[in-house]
Chain A
Amino acid sequence: KQEVTQIPAALSVPEGENLVLNCSFTDSAIYNLQWFRQDPGKGLTSLLLIQSSQREQTSGRLNASLDKSSGRSTLYIAASQPGDSATYLCAGGDGNKLVFGAGTILRVKS
């Protein structure tokens, strides 16, 4: 059974810092991995999707990597801004369903 763990649970950084959020999963037979952002009281917004044949994806200041052999994914946020404050969730897919981590609560201080 796939289990997804996210570290740290919470993170507070000053504006402008580069930061890394970590995600680990137990089943290396992961098909794809998706990072989401969730603002308080809101739904999930997809940030990046890494498919099984890929190792990383980039969108603007965001870069996500996937290492299936070690069971890890990282989300790198460059030059963080207060507007990046949210909960970040990673989810591993087996080709049918997504299993979510508990999320990392990010606060970027101005």
Chain B
Amino acid sequence: DAGVIQSPRHEVTEMGQEVTLRCKPISGHNSLFWYRQTMMRGLELLIYFNNNVPIDDSGMPEDRFSAKMPNASFSTLKIQPSEPRDSAVYFCASTQVHGYTFGSGTRLTVV
């Protein structure tokens, strides 16, 4: 199994631009999570899906953030418009019942 796959690995964008982060969970895993990691706040849960349905998006910081999971093998996290304070590492994780597997993350820099 290739694990949880995230793309891109690095993204540098200008303030105001739209950013889309992508995630492919492990096949057979029915839950998918988006986390954000910063030095100041550590790892924060943004949103999670069960069986492609968003369950809890209370961690999404603002309306500029949105996430979709159109099918069991793909999810996106979109920031529009992006701001410098969105700079962080964004992780995707998946699980079936027990144990979470994380992707390698996307390092986002908004200048």
Contact = CB atoms under 8 A, between A and B. Distances in A.
B56 A96 contact: yes
A43 B100 contact: no
B48 A96 contact: yes
Interface string B93-111: 1000011111111000000
Contact of A43 (B48, B50, B56, B104): B104
B45 A44 contact: no
B55 interface: yes
Given A96-B56, A98-B45, A99-B45, A34 B100 contact: yes
B43 A97 contact: no
Interface residues of B, number: 20
Contacts of B56: 96-97
Contacts of B33: 97-98
Given A96-B56, A97-B45, A98-B33, A32 B91 contact: no
A46 B91 CA distance: 14
Interface in A34-60: 34, 36, 42-46, 49, 51
A51 to B, nearest CB: 6
Interface in A53-110: 89, 91, 93, 96-103
B105 A43 contact: yes
Given A36-B102, A43-B104, A44-B93, 13 more contacts: A32-B99, A43-B102, A43-B103, A46-B102, A89-B43, A93-B100, A96-B50, A96-B56, A97-B48, A98-B45, A98-B93, A98-B100, A99-B45
17 contacts: A32-B98, A34-B100, A45-B102, A46-B102, A49-B98, A49-B99, A91-B43, A96-B48, A96-B56, A97-B33, A97-B48, A97-B56, A98-B33, A98-B93, A98-B100, A99-B45, A100-B43
